[in-house]
Amino acid sequence: MSKDNVKENKAPRIPRKVTFIEAMMLLIIIVGIMIWTALVAKAPTAMGVLYCAIVCAVYGMILGFKWDDMFVNVLDVVKTAMPALYFLMLVGFVSASWIASGTIPYMIYLGLKIIHPSIFLFAAFLLTAIASMVTGSSWAIVTSLGLALGGIATGLGIPLHIAAGAIVSGCFLGDKWSPLSDTPNLSAASTGQNIIKLFTSMIPTSGYGAILASIGFLIMGFMLPTGTSADTTTVTELMNGLSSNFDFNILLLAPVIFVFIMAAMKYSILPVLSIGVGIGMVEAMIFQGKTFSELTKIVWNGYVSNTDIKVIDSLLSRGGAMSISGLVMLLFAAFTFAGLIEKIGVLDAIMEKLLKVIKSTGSLVLCTLITSIITVYLSSSVYVSIILNGRMYDKAYRKKNLDIINLSRTITEGSAYFGGMCPWSGGGLLVISSLGVGSWSYLPYVFGCWGAIFFTILWGYTGKYMQKAEYDEDGNLISAELADTAES
């Protein structure tokens, strides 16, 4: 028999998916890579994710998978993220134009007016929550307003670790809930959901949790002794700095009100945001004296604040389309990794074991929360937690006839806050260095986190605010119920 005939008769190699033991070994390697990237190399998260993707690709080829087949799955996963990429680009435009118009500075100015010793904890929570919601950044608020509020707390005689709990609660509320933040956008993209739908679905968890936290901080504020001679010069300086550099008036709230009303009326979010950017640009020309040429550069490159007040300049120098370029690269790296790890069967192998102990919707939600939290502490990355858990639980939620928006909400609630509470994550290290407190000391006082988790578990076990959906045998959506939100 000729060599050619031998080659023709040779059966093609059939790839096999990983076993549970192999899946756990790969996860250990992935966790090791992410910890090394964050703590040793101090490199961008995207690089660690890319290294993990390379490991999965190599192991997949060892198992017999062809690169072309694996890459097709990567493209399928990336396809789900495209709407989020367009939205993120507009988010950069929104933040830059609304800072230039004075909208975001005005909202922060209004928040600063409520600072008072007896309600300091409540005010600190509310102010940082407002600032993080309108900027979409927890890190910027921690290092600017958070730092200032920490100094005020010391002057008032309020224990710094308790004040840090209120500050972290507010800063990371916006980080996990604001449509302008990268975290909920990543959650929505990794599960193929709409960011506004995710925002709405989190009202019964993050919204109710914020109310519970507010009550807790109000009660605790009246119970704590405060100094009689409070030094509020920092607050006065911030307010004077904002009012002297921007022309404030009530009309500056117009773009925010417009976007929220249109979104509530279920209009498509991309054109609504585009109009919101336009309103902001017009107001920047009318009230702040900006030219169209200046605004064109601002919405692309971001707003640069030059008030000579460090806290304000740190807080307002941001936005623009280019500000999300790093996140876009992270998204591509993340979905490459997700597509590869999914194709070789790592997530299926783990989920098969978990499904043996998951019997109800409540236990599924609880398990999702627990693994999301654990993943943050193991990988020191909120992004990795969202990506892995979002892909791993997808089939389980479909089998329970649950709309995937429930999964998106749960992984967000189980990941975002812990980015500021894990002492070896970027957010945790930032809080520790900015406020000078250990993460374990303020962790019990992050009421915003614990309140949202309480309601997430409660709705999981009671079935309230859990949107249902119907899927075919292949997991494709047939129909979905109207969202059972707090408004219904």
Region of residue 320 (phi > 0: left; psi between -120 and 50: alpha; otherwise: beta): left
The per-residue pLDDT for 8 is 52
Cα dihedral 11, 15, 16, 22, rounded to 10, equals 130
The per-residue pLDDT for 9 is 53
Q: What is the pLDDT of residues 243-261, one digit of tens each?
A: 898 999 999 989 888 887 8
Q: How far apart are CA 457 and CA 313, in angstroms?
A: 40
Domain spans of the chain, in order of start: 82-324
Task: Decide if 64 contacts 15 (C-beta within 8 A).
Answer: yes
The per-residue pLDDT for 486 is 39
Q: How far apart are CA 457 and CA 97, in angstroms?
A: 38
pLDDT-based confidence at 230, cuts 50/70/90?
low
Percent of the chain topping pLDDT 90: 32
Q: What is the pLDDT of residues 19-46, one digit of tens each?
A: 889 988 998 898 888 888 877 888 887 8
Mean pLDDT within 386-396: 87
Residue 321 has pLDDT above 60, yes or no: yes
Which amino acid, residue 319? G
Which DSSP string corresponds to 446-484?
A: -HHHHHHHHHHHHHHHH-TT--BEEE-TTS-EEEEPPP-
Choose between 446 and 8: higher pLDDT.
446
190's CB contacts (< 8 A; 6+ apart) are 80, 81, 334, 335, 338, 386, 387, 390, 391, 408, 411
Mean pLDDT within 207-235: 79
The per-residue pLDDT for 225 is 65
- On the 0-12 / 13-18 / 19+ scale of CB atoms within 10 A, 441 is middle
User: To which residue do tokens 């936290």 refer?
Assistant: 213
Percent of the chain topping pLDDT 70: 91
Mean pLDDT within 404-424: 93
How many C-beta atoms surround the C-beta of residue 359 within 10 A?
Answer: 9
Residue 298 has pLDDT above 50, yes or no: yes
Which amino acid, residue 456? T
At 402, is the secondary structure helix, strand, or coil? strand
Residue 404 has pLDDT above 90, yes or no: yes
Mean pLDDT within 262-288: 86
Q: What is the pLDDT of residues 161-217, one digit of tens each?
A: 999 999 999 999 988 998 888 889 889 888 888 888 899 999 999 999 999 999 999
The per-residue pLDDT for 485 is 42
Mean pLDDT within 344-370: 88
* Positive or negative: CA dihedral 131, 132, 133, 136: positive
Between the alpha carbon of residue 293 and those of residues 260, 297, 298, 307, 351, the distances in Å are 28, 7, 9, 21, 53
The two structure tokens encoding residue 118: 């007896």
* Positive or negative: CA dihedral 36, 41, 42, 45: negative
Residue 417 has pLDDT above 90, yes or no: yes
Residue 483 has pLDDT above 60, yes or no: no
The per-residue pLDDT for 155 is 65
The per-residue pLDDT for 13 is 66
- On the 0-12 / 13-18 / 19+ scale of CB atoms within 10 A, 233 is exposed
- On the 0-12 / 13-18 / 19+ scale of CB atoms within 10 A, 36 is middle
pLDDT-based confidence at 130, cuts 50/70/90?
confident
Q: What is the pLDDT of residues 103-125, one digit of tens each?
A: 888 888 887 777 777 788 998 99
Q: How far apart are CA 455 and CA 210, in angstroms?
A: 11
DSSP state of 419: G
pLDDT-based confidence at 12, cuts 50/70/90?
low
Which amino acid, residue 372? S
Q: What is the mean pLDDT of the chain?
A: 84
The two structure tokens encoding residue 14: 């059939």
Which DSSP string corresponds to 99-134?
A: HHHTHHHHHHHHHHTT--GGGHHHHHHHHHHHHHHH
The two structure tokens encoding residue 399: 């089998």
User: Which among 283, 227, 297 has a CA at the least distance from the CA of 252?
Assistant: 283
Residue 270 has pLDDT above 70, yes or no: yes
The per-residue pLDDT for 487 is 36
Residue 11 has pLDDT above 70, yes or no: no
User: Which among 338, 272, 270, 324 has a CA at the least distance from the CA of 79?
Assistant: 338
The per-residue pLDDT for 247 is 92
Task: Decide if 189 contacts 145 (C-beta within 8 A).
Answer: no
